[in-house]
Copies of this chain bind each other. A is one copy, B any other.
Amino acid sequence: MADVFEALAAHARRAILDVLRERNGQTLFEICTRLTMRHSITLTRQAISQHLDVLEAAGLVTTRREGRYKFHDLDTTPLKVIVNRWLNPNPTAGEE
């Protein structure tokens, strides 16, 4: 599982998480469309695809393939490391 923080570093990737939160299980093209429409992010399909790879490597997005479609689902579980690391009053501090 790659670095969650690095995954969150890019503005476009955060927008993707927002888009997936609006509606789960979208395809690459749907995500591209929504990014353009709702978030004024105009990137090439490949750019978005690469971002999705990063998000998936970080465990923030899971994918399932059906025919020629690939659906993307949001998983916020990795985000809880942030809470556990600094916001938690009784931490298991210092791991990385």
Secondary structure dominating the interface of A: helix
Q: Which of B15, B18, B93 contacts A18 (CB 8 A)?
A: B93
Chain B residues closer than 8 Å to A83, beta-carbon distance: 83, 87
Bitwise, A34-69 to B at CB < 8 A (1) or not (0) is 000011000000000000000000000000000000
Q: How far is the CA of A22 from the CA of B79 in the complex (A)?
A: 22
Instruction: Annotate A12-34 by CB proximity to B: 1 below 8 A, 0 otherwise.
Output: 00110110011000000000000
* Interface of A toward B, CB cutoff 8 Å: 5-6, 8-9, 11, 14-15, 17-18, 21-22, 38-39, 74, 76, 79-80, 82-83, 85-87, 91, 93-94, 96
